[in-house]
Amino acid sequence: MGNNGNENRTKEMNLWEKLYFPEILHGMGITLRAFFRPKFTRQYPEERWVPPPVFRGRPVLVVEDETGVERCVACGLCARVCPSLAIQVQAAETELDKERYPELFEINMLRCIFCGFCEEVCPEEAIIMSKDYELNFSDPKDAIYGKNRLLTPASQLSDRLAFLKQYR
């Protein structure tokens, strides 16, 4: 390794190794040990993996639990930063303190590359990466997530929010 492939690959074998059969038995011993090793296959539909908070799954919009209003102020930074142009935001005015809200917020999950830039750039911590990795669609139209499917209560995202507080 690492010496430009100049290493000498030929190795003199001793008589014991040249007899071949002992080495076959040695190899069979290795496979037999593997036979009894514990298996770590996950039986997927029954056993689902719960990712750790670092995991970047499908991006979602955070909704405050008390007020039921989304944090997003429709500044459009996420749409600007998104390298694959997956996010579309349309702003509108509102009577609330934050004054602006997204009238339309769509993420095309066929375009999203899960880079997490939207989350990073968001000044309000309004768009964050969830733990959802089970994305499948039978129609490209299904892959465009509107507000109805993006809004998620903050209580369900406490893991990721705590993670962001600690590391960002």
Partner 1 sequence: MIALIALIKVIVLVLVILGTVAYLVLLERKVSAYMQDRIGPNRVGPKGLFQPFADILKLVLKEMIVPENANGFIHALAPVISITVALAALAVIPFGNYIVIGGQKISLMIAHVNIGVLYILAMSSLGVYGITLSGWASNNKYSLLGGLRSSAQMISYELSLGLSIIGVLMIDGTLQLDRIVQSQSAWLWNIVFQPIGFLVFVTAAFAETNRLPFDLPEAEPELVGGYHTEYSGMRWGLFFLSEYTNMIVSSALIVTLYFGGWSLPYVNYAAMMPNLAALLQVVTFLAKTGIVIFVFMWVRWTLPRFRYDQLMNVGWKIMLPLAILNLLGTGAVMLALK
Q: Which of 44, 167, 155 is nearest to 116 (CA)?
A: 167
Q: Which of 55, 36, 65, 61 is nearest to 124 (CA)?
A: 61
Binding site for partner 1 (CB under 8 A): 21, 24, 27-28, 30-32, 34-35, 37, 39-41, 43
Report, in Å, the least distance between residue 28 CB and partner 1: 5
Report, in Å, the least distance between residue 45 CB and partner 1: 10
Taking CA 132 as the corner, what is the angle to CA 138 and CA 146, rounded to the nearest 5 degrees?
A: 60
Find where tokens 């009894």 sit. 36
- Rounded distance between C-alpha atoms, residue 25 and residue 78, angstroms: 61
- Toward partner 1, which CB reaches closer, 21 or 167? 21
Report, in Å, the least distance between residue 17 CB and partner 1: 15
- Toward partner 1, which CB reaches closer, 44 or 167? 44
- Toward partner 1, which CB reaches closer, 40 or 167? 40
Q: Which run of H or E residues covers position 30?
A: helix 21-36
Q: Which of 111, 102, 110, 94 is nearest to 73 (CA)?
A: 102
- Toward partner 1, which CB reaches closer, 15 or 32? 32
DSSP state, residue 47: S
Find where tokens 């639990």 sit. 65
- Toward partner 1, which CB reaches closer, 32 or 50? 32
Beta bridge partners of 92: 101
Report, in Å, the least distance between residue 38 CB and partner 1: 9
Report, in Å, the least distance between residue 9 CB and partner 1: 16
Find where tokens 């290795």 sit. 30
